[in-house]
Structure 1
Amino acid sequence: MWEATGLGSEELLWSSIAFMGGIAGQQQAPCGVLSSSSVFLGLRHRCSLDDKQRAKEARTLIRQQAADLVKGFEEKFGTIICREMIRFDTSDPVEYEKFRQSGIWRQKCNKAIEFAIDRLYDFEDSRETAAS
């Protein structure tokens, strides 16, 4: 997404690294793809805070899109909480290694990433349609 939208910067990638495994493996948190996608939405729609009306509209849109993403995610996966999705405690090094070796990340995590990317592209398509 970051390359497709002109936000092609390693800063975006690095800003979301801690969201792997919830938040730094502390999985009582939402799936990291939801947090990372929310960061992306904020950066994608950012504008000057000097323009109060435009900033208000951007904040409203960001919150709406993030809420839509979270609701759709929960409908598809049954939860937004990392630990509930993968059933491993990745804050424990032994459990983390079991998680990696299990390959469940291919089934669960990659599907979650694909879902979020598809939804973000849907938001982009809506943005382009509205601008036309």
Structure 2
Amino acid sequence: MGKVDQAVECFCGGAACSQAIAATYGPDFGLAREQAMKVASGFAGGMRLGETCGAVTGAFMVLGLKFAGADCETRDGRDAVYAALADFVRKFEQRNRVVICRELLGCDISTPDGARKANREGLFRTICPNLVKDAAEILEEML
């Protein structure tokens, strides 16, 4: 099974979108799966605020692991990471129009009404696996 399928399976098995991406790709760059699951745990659902999609933020973590060098403590040392993030966002938006969770889902899961709507309509089962798949496929191109 390829990594794209592993990420989707991880998500469908109960992990958050951010965790599915970070835990699937992080170990290739020295981040243990258990640590990836922990560090990515708070980023699902647009950081629980309906903001940037967790699959996207999970991918950002992986891109940081891949493209940040020893000099990443300086602004210049992060240029390669920032370029990779911009490229990822462009590709994700080509597929999905936006990177904002509430716009991708059509409701704001940070509100009680939005969370109920997402659960009632099964959005985490119908929309989110495709977003995890898209993020993983884009990572496959970039890594």
Shorter-chain TM band: 0.7 to 0.9
- Number of the residue aligned with 1:81: 100
Identity value in percent: 25
Say which of 100, 109, 119 aligns to 1:100: 119
Whether the aligned pair in 2 keeps the contact of 1:88 and 1:95 (CA below 8 Å) is yes
Shift of 1:99: 0.9
Deviations 1:54-111 (A, max 9, x none): x94x623222221111011111111111111111221123431331232222332111
Shift of 1:5: 4.6
Task: Report the Cα distance in structure 1 between the residues aligned to 2:102 and 2:52, rounded to whole angstroms.
Answer: 9
Higher radius of gyration, 1 or 2: 1
Aligned residue runs from structure 1 range 17-36, under 5 A: 17-24=41-48, 26-27=49-50, 29-36=51-58
Give unpaired runs (5+ residues) of structure 1: 125-132
Give unpaired runs (5+ residues) of structure 2: 1-24
Whether the aligned pair in 2 keeps the contact of 1:7 and 1:44 (CA below 8 Å) is no
Give TM-score, length-normalised by structure 2: 0.69
Is 1:42 matched up with 2:64? yes
- Number of the residue aligned with 1:11: 35
Aligned residue runs from structure 1 range 63-78, under 5 A: 63-78=82-97
The one-letter amino acid paired with 2:90 is K
Whether the aligned pair in 2 keeps the contact of 1:33 and 1:116 (CA below 8 Å) is yes
Shift of 1:7: 3.0
Task: Report the Cα distance in structure 1 between the residues aligned to 2:109 and 2:32, rounded to whole angstroms.
Answer: 30
The one-letter amino acid paired with 1:34 is V
Aligned residue pairs total 119
Is 1:109 matched up with 2:131? no
Give TM-score, length-normalised by structure 1: 0.74
Whether the aligned pair in 1 keeps the contact of 2:108 and 2:115 (CA below 8 Å) is yes
Q: Whose helix proportion is higher, 1 or 2?
A: 2
